[in-house]
Every structure is written in C-alpha cells, then in structure tokens.
C-alpha cells in the first residue's frame, strides 16, 4: 500500500529528548525517510518532549546532528520549519487541552481523583487475591472519578483545586480489529485494555494524547515506529475513533536484538557493551563518560546507513551494497521482517570495508598526515602502491598506519620467537650471500626479487623469506614480501638486513 487513499505521503520521526539515539531509533528514522522519498512525500521531525522528568540536555542537538550525518535530514519539523508549527510537544499544550475538552464533552474521557495512596491500596488488594489491578471498565465505577459522582460534586472538587488526571474511557466488550502493514491483522479484546491517562496531574498531556492529536493535525498518513509501540496501537485507534478521525496506516518495526542473545539492544548498561550502539559520540551527563559512536570510530555514514537499512529489511534482489538513492528506489514496508533481527558488529565492519575500497583518496590524506607528523619524507607513487597493497586488510581509514608503518620506519626490535631461532653463524652467512645477490640486481623489482629466491629449495625458501620479512618488518606480519623490498628499494632493504645481522652477532 503506497499511501492512505493515494494521498500525499507524510511520515514522521518523533523521538523524545531523553538521551542519544541508538541503532533502533535511527533505523526508525531511516525507514521513514526511505518511505517518504520513495513516494515523493514529506519526512517530518517532531520532538515529543512532554516527559520533562526524563529530559536530558543536548539530546535534541544530538538528534539533529545524527540525521545530518546520516544524510537523512527532514523536509520539515523542529529546526526545519513548516506549516504545522510548533513541532515541540511541550509548546502545544493549549492544542491538547482544546481537543481533550471535546473528548470530555462526548463522554469519551473522565476526571479521576484517585490518590497515589488509594491506587496503591487497590493494587495490593488485587495482588493479595491473586489478580493484577487494571483501571478498566470492570473497576472504574468503584473508583474516585467523575463517573461515580454527581455534576455538582464534580464541579466542587474541580473548583476546590483537588488533584486529578483525565483518563480515556475504553469501550467494553469489543473485539477491536486492527491492521498493521508488517504484522497483518490483529484482534484485541477491549476488556483487556486499561483506561489510560490522557492528562497528567501536572496538567501536561501524555504521549498517547499528544501523539494522536499531532499525527492528525500534521496530516501524517503512515506511522512507522518500533515494535515496542505495538501494544499502544489499539488505544491510539480508539482515540482516533473517539475524535471522529480517520487513522493513519500503521507499521511496527521488528526489534534489533543483541548478538549474544541477551535481549534487545538498549541504552541501559551501554558502557559495558563491547560494540557501539550510538551513531555519534555521547557524553554521559552524570559522569562525563565519553561513549564513542560509529562516526568517531571511523565508519562512513554511507556504510552505516547501508548496514542499518538491511537490519530487518530485504531489498528482494541480489547484493548488499546500495547507495542511498538505490535504497529509496528499492524500499518497501512489505519486505520488512516481523521477527527480531540480530545485530552483528563484524557485519557492520564488513560494510565499512566495502565502502573503504572507494575511499583511497581519504586513506592517502590520512597516511600523508601521519608521515608529516613524524617528519618522514615519501614518494607519492609509493604511497599509492602501499595503499593498494594494504587496502584489503583495512576496515577503517585509521588502520592504514598500523598496516604500513614498516615501509617508513626500520624495526627497532624483532619478534622473539623467530629471532631466537636464527641466532647462529650459519644464518649470518646466508644473509651475507643474499645481500651480495641483492646488490647485483640491476632492476630492483618484485619480479626479479622473486626469481632470486627460486634458487632455494621449497623448505629453505620459506625459511629465508621469513628471515627477510623479520629484517624488513620486525615481525612475520605484513604484505607481499617482494613488494616490500621493491618499495623500500635496494639501499634501505640492505640496511635493514645488515641491522638484523648486527643484532644476531650481538646475540651470539
């Protein structure tokens, strides 16, 4: 289904400023963005900040910066303007109270004066009888609310300044049929629903009321949100019906699960996780701990978005690497899985590796800066050769130095496991012979150097190649030995061999 009655598609991303976005939140934003762009619609950013107790400073700017980094910026909304200002729920209180009065007039909502102490006593009473207390149709007429008192008493309580909340009156005995674009048909018995609070005792509208009114007034056609909101869908549909409004089309996304099987990804205990869940770096306000995000760890935004898009959605064609425009063209809510999807950090790294292959210019710049820091001169052609040799070993730009430093810095120590084995006169003699052979090579190329080692039998050839690698690199790691020799050149290669020979002589 493209849109509601083929109207202009309007979707919204409506985060709460209660901390940084994590993978699940930014994926929700991404799917809304892809859907809107697929059908030429609008992607709206709304800040749902009615819960002031959980407000965390800098959360909103973090949300804005994340969307910008991911290149999925809204068409309208908080920070972007639009026809439905304001886009912060904390600034829309008068609007909510206006529409709430209509629900009260129609008998779809009622005042509840129950104190916290009275509610707690009821909960304990039900608990002692083996039941769970729920403020619903079966109990509401036994509670301290406007349904159980005369109008005169109600006016008296309101005029006296008594504390109250306003609850929604859930219709009883109804089998509510619902349709979700991802979950399909769902049937809910309204007797299992409680009369949720619409207006809190502090006069602030709850998420449920504000969300429903805003989606209607902002002409949202599709609500694409996380699975955690699926239990609220029935309540929201009943609210739409009570107002006499047509509801949007709903789609509830699957959870992103931890690879270790310990539940869903969550911001709780994030400091103890061994993989990132935030797109950008976050500074914990309570203790100033810095938690790195994907951006700071070296992931490309294109790779991050590509990875995230496939975390619960199948494009329906072969391949995994897609540009943002290709994701837009292929996107379909019908191809989103119902079940939770496991996050795999190795797969995230793989995605970055694929994009890295097209970023040789960035690798060149990074490596150049590292060399300048160390006052090391270099040939531009050699840098490109080194990048070509090492790029398949990299997942991130910053790894280039780790995999190439030995081209520029002679070893100061040697891997002890091999060094201790070769500390005898025979190895020095063999290295002397090899050095003479190297001196006699007119064209110091990898091809000619490879031929030089052909004179050894297979066993001795492997051993000598190990010793040469030790001399050049200091360890048994590194790229193609003969390309290392070629890039270092004859003089530097021989200097490093002589340095190893000196160390062996000192040892023996």
DSSP letters of 104-165? Answer: HHTTSEEEE---HHHHHHHHHHHHHTT-----STTTGGGSSBGGGS-HHHHHHHHHTT---E
Indicate the helix (H) or strand (E) that contains 199: strand 197-199
Longest dimension (CA), the chain: 112
- Residues 297 and 248: their CA atoms lie apart, in Å, by 39
Residue 168 in tokens = 């929604």
Give, in order, the Cα–Cα distances in Å from 19 to each of 35, 55, 213, 280: 26, 8, 25, 12
Read off the tokens for 401: 């130095």
- Which residue do the tokens 């084995």 mark? 421
Residue 44, strand partner residues: 12, 76
Separation of first and last alpha carbons in the chain: 80
Copy the structure tokens of residue 324.
């943002």
Q: With 0-12 CB in 10 A as exposed, 13-18 as middle and 19+ as buried, what is 82?
A: middle
- Taking the C-alpha atoms of residue 398 and residue 34, their distance in angstroms, rounded to an integer, is 31
Q: Are 133 and 126 in contact (CB under 8 A)?
A: yes
The one-character DSSP state at 267 is S
Q: Which of 160, 164, 119 is closest to 143 using CA atoms? A: 119
Active site residues: 267
Residue 214: C-alpha distances to residues 52, 85, 207, 231 (Å): 18, 11, 10, 19
- Report the SS3 class of residue 274: coil
What residues have CB less than 8 Å from 101, skipping those under 6 apart?
Answer: none
Helix (H, G, I), strand (E, B) or coil at 400: helix
Question: What tokens appear for 455 in the block?
Answer: 């004179």
How far does CA 499 lie from the centroid of its chain?
A: 49
Whether the CB-CB separation of 148 and 139 falls below 8 Å is answered with no
Q: How far apart are CA 48 and CA 207, in angstroms?
A: 7
Q: What is the dihedral of CA 487, 488, 491, 494, to 10 degrees?
A: -120
């Amino acid at each position: 289904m493209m849109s509601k009655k083929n109207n202009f598609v309007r979707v919204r991303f409506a985060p709460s400023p209660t901390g940084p976005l994590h993978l699940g939140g930014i994926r929700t934003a991404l799917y809304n963005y892809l859907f809107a762009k697929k059908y030429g619609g609008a992607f709206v950013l709304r800040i749902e900040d009615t819960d002031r107790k959980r407000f965390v400073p800098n959360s909103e700017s973090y949300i804005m910066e994340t969307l910008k980094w991911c290149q999925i910026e809204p068409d309208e909304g908080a920070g972007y303007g639009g026809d439905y200002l304001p886009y912060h729920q904390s600034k829309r209180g008068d609007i909510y109270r206006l529409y709430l009065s209509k629900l009260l007039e129609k008998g779809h909502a009622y005042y509840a004066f129950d104190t916290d102490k009275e509610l707690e006593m009821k909960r304990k009473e039900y608990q002692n009888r083996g039941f769970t207390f729920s403020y619903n149709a079966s109990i509401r007429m036994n509670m301290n609310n406007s349904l159980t008192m005369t109008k005169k008493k109600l006016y008296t309580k309101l005029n006296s300044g008594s504390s109250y909340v306003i609850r929604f009156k859930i219709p009883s005995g109804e089998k509510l049929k619902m349709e979700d674009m991802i979950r399909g048909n769902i049937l809910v018995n309204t007797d299992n629903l409680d009369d949720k609070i619409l207006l809190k005792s502090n006069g602030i509208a709850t998420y449920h009321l504000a969300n429903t009114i805003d989606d209607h007034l902002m002409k949202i056609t599709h609500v694409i949100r996380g699975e955690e909101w699926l239990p609220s869908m029935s309540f929201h549909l009943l609210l739409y019906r009570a107002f006499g409004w047509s509801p949007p089309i709903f789609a509830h996304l699957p959870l992103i699960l931890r690879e270790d099987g310990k539940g869903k990804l969550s911001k709780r205990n994030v400091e103890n996780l061994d993989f990132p869940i935030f797109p950008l770096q976050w500074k914990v306000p309570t203790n100033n701990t810095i938690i790195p995000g994907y951006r700071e760890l070296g992931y490309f935004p294109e790779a991050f978005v590509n990875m995230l898009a496939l975390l619960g959605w199948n494009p329906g064609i072969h391949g995994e690497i897609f540009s943002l425009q290709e994701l837009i063209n292929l996107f379909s809510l019908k191809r989103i899985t119902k079940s939770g999807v496991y996050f795999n950090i190795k797969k995230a790294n793989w995605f970055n590796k694929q994009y890295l292959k097209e970023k040789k210019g960035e690798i060149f710049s990074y490596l150049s800066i590292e060399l300048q820091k160390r006052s090391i001169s270099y040939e531009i052609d050699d840098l490109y050769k080194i990048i070509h040799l090492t790029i398949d070993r990299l997942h991130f730009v910053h790894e280039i130095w780790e995999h190439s430093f030995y081209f520029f810095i002679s070893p100061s120590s040697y891997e002890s496991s091999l060094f201790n084995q070769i500390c005898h006169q025979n190895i020095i003699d063999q290295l002397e012979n090899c050095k003479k052979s190297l001196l006699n090579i007119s064209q110091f190329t990898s091809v000619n150097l490879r031929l030089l080692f052909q004179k050894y039998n297979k066993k001795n050839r492997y051993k000598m190649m190990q010793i040469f690698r030790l001399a050049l690199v200091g360890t048994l790691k590194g790229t193609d030995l003969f390309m290392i020799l070629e890039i270092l050149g004859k003089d530097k290669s021989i200097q490093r061999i002589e340095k190893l020979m000196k160390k062996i002589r000192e040892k023996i």
